[in-house]
């Protein structure tokens, strides 16, 4: 098997990127150490001074292929010229308003978004972050049902605000006292590691889901309001919901008089090869939340629901007001993102290039025994590094060495190191990526595997 093609080692480049500014890296780091507050995670050692298209540029002059779209957000790449023009125009003429005022960009975004979603997702408002949108969705569900208990999945990530983090079972729950009351957890749908197996060894997600709901029913005080899920648990290790899982989840919710909330922060707006990932499963949630990809890196999120739920919540005095509710500038960006996505047929592009990416990663798996699993959908992929394929023993130290070498060669692929899933690479390049750029990244990934001790070459 021929190796993937690679270009010149980017660690040797001295390319300042799309900027004329020259920075003193040591001075920047000194000021950061002095003035920036620790937020729970150590900052990356490089200081990024510019970004353009699919590339990042460091203060030291290196050019890095961005395989995470920033924080999984720059769907169309960094500095997309049409997005830049929208920002300039609205920064000059229509940037921020009183939250009760409407503007053409907000109305246009609402129309364009809802007209491309399934029937039953008819009404939207716009906030800044995924945590905010999930907070609002949970409050909507509580208002509509008159109940308060919320169910989430193990390994989930929904944000850092009170109700969102309460329904989140991956990380961020410790150190600040009790969560919101009435929060329950279902098992994470981890097909690779779940103990629920059929006699032939295949994943028995139906039995796992039934077991999980039986535990919730026993723990519940009889006030189940909603269940919130992701179509792909990205932060939790890039686990894709099994075929049929989302439909079964909706049936469980309906049987208990609950609403189904689907959080598509990372899977929405084309990344997984559908306009929204719920289309893949043919399921219409009661409430859909979007963020990250909708704003192409700007703070923009959405809550979308039905006219029926809106009407009842309005009658019950639902209220959710923030400083940046329905802000015109980010809404104009979101509207342009959707326009470009649909105009340039980027959903189909993501589906086709996603297959190229998945096939390329599986080729690497056939060559290196340290890759225990490749999973994902479209241009959202996960690669789990293990010490032994038979035992599936985790290998976070090996994964870190591979990740460090990949970065040295010129690719930024986020490595999830938390103990709950240590050793999973999360890969999500902008969906404007070309086949050549995918090949470039895969080539550097292979070079890192070839050069790192302990990767267990199979040829």
Q: For position 420, which CATH number holds?
A: 3.90.1150.10
Whether 263 sits among the annotated catalytic residues: the reply is yes
- Residue at a domain's end among 293, 321, 343: 343
In a domain? residue 54: yes
* pLDDT the model gives residue 50: 94
My answer on whether 322 and 421 are in the same domain is no
In a domain? residue 457: no
My answer on whether 68 and 40 are in the same domain is yes
Of residues 263, 274, 286, 373, which has the active-site annotation? Answer: 263
My answer on whether 355 and 419 are in the same domain is yes
My answer on whether 238 and 283 are in the same domain is yes
In a domain? residue 459: no
> Which residues in the chain land under pLDDT 50?
1, 9-13
Of residues 157, 205, 213, 412, which has the active-site annotation? Answer: 157
In a domain? residue 419: yes
In a domain? residue 3: no
In a domain? residue 308: yes
In a domain? residue 5: no
* pLDDT the model gives residue 106: 98
* pLDDT the model gives residue 3: 65
My answer on whether 390 and 417 are in the same domain is yes
Whether 292 sits among the annotated catalytic residues: the reply is yes
* pLDDT the model gives residue 9: 45
Q: What is the pTM of this model?
A: 0.94
Range of the domain at 121: 82-343
Whether 266 sits among the annotated catalytic residues: the reply is yes
> In angstroms, rounded to a whole number, what is the distance separating the alpha carbons of residues 122 and 129?
21
Here the tokens at position 449 are 């595997």
- Residue at a domain's end among 343, 367, 391: 343
* pLDDT the model gives residue 417: 65
* pLDDT the model gives residue 17: 64
Whether 147 sits among the annotated catalytic residues: the reply is no
Of residues 63, 250, 292, 336, which has the active-site annotation? Answer: 292
In a domain? residue 458: no
My answer on whether 279 and 245 are in the same domain is yes
* pLDDT the model gives residue 352: 98
Of residues 168, 266, 358, 437, which has the active-site annotation? Answer: 266
My answer on whether 64 and 92 are in the same domain is no
Count of the separate structural domains present in the chain: 2
My answer on whether 390 and 426 are in the same domain is yes
My answer on whether 42 and 138 are in the same domain is no
- Residue at a domain's end among 289, 313, 343: 343
Of residues 132, 135, 230, 281, which has the active-site annotation? Answer: 230
Measured torsion, CA atoms of residues 129, 94, 91, 296, in degrees rounded to the nearest 10: 30
Of residues 142, 147, 426, 437, which has the active-site annotation? Answer: 426
My answer on whether 104 and 123 are in the same domain is yes
My answer on whether 31 and 88 are in the same domain is no
My answer on whether 60 and 179 are in the same domain is no
Whether 197 sits among the annotated catalytic residues: the reply is no
* pLDDT the model gives residue 292: 97
Whether 247 sits among the annotated catalytic residues: the reply is no
In sequence order, what are the residues at sequence separation of 6 or more whose Cβ sits closer than 8 angstroms to the Cβ of residue 397? Answer: none
Q: What is the CATH number of the domain that holds 150?
A: 3.40.640.10
What length is written for the chain?
459
């Amino acid at each position: 098997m021929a190796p993937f093609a690679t270009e010149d080692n980017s660690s040797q480049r001295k390319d300042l990127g799309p900027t004329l500014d020259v920075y003193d890296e040591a001075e920047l780091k000194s000021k950061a150490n002095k003035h920036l507050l620790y937020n729970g995670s150590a900052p990356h050692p490089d200081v990024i001074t510019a970004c353009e298209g699919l590339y990042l540029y460091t203060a030291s002059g290196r050019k890095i292929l961005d395989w995470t779209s920033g924080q999984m957000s720059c769907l169309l790449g960094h500095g997309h010229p049409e997005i830049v023009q929208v920002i300039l125009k609205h920064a000059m003429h229509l940037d921020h308003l009183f939250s009760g005022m409407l503007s053409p960009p907000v109305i246009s975004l609402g129309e364009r978004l809802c007209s491309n979603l399934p029937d039953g997702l008819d009404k939207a408002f716009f906030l800044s972050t995924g945590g905010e949108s999930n907070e609002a969705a949970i409050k909507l569900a509580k208002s509509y049902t008159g109940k308060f208990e919320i169910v989430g999945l193990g390994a989930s990530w929904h944000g850092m605000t009170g109700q969102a983090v309460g329904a989140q079972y991956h990380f961020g729950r410790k150190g600040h006292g009790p969560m919101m009351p009435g929060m329950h957890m279902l098992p994470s749908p981890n097909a690779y590691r779940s103990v629920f197996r059929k006699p032939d060894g295949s994943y028995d997600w139906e039995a796992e889901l039934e077991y999980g709901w039986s535990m919730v029913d026993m723990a519940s005080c009889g006030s189940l309001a909603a269940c919130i899920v992701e179509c792909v648990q990205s932060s939790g290790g890039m686990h894709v919901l099994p075929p049929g899982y989302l439909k079964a989840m909706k049936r469980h919710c309906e049987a208990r008089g609950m609403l189904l909330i689907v959080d598509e922060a990372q899977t929405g707006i084309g990344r997984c090869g559908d306009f929204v990932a719920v289309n893949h499963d043919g399921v219409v949630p009661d409430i859909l939340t979007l963020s990250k990809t909708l704003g192409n890196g700007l703070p923009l999120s959405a809550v979308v629901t039905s006219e029926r739920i809106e009407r009842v919540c309005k009658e019950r005095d639902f209220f959710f007001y923030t400083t940046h509710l329905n802000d015109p500038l980010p809404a104009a960006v979101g509207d342009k993102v959707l326009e470009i996505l649909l105009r340039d047929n980027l959903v189909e592009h993501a589906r086709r290039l996603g297959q190229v990416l998945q096939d390329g990663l599986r080729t690497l798996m056939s060559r290196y025994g340290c890759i225990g699993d490749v999973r994902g959908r479209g241009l959202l992929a996960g690669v789990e590094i293990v010490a032994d394929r038979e035992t599936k023993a985790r290998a976070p130290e090996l994964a870190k060495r591979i990740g460090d070498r990949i970065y040295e060669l010129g690719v930024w692929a986020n490595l999830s190191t938390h103990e709950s899933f240590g050793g999973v690479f999360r890969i999500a390049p902008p969906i404007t990526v070309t086949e050549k750029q995918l090949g470039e990244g895969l080539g550097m990934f292979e070079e890192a595997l070839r050069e790192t001790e302990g990767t267990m070459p199979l040829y």
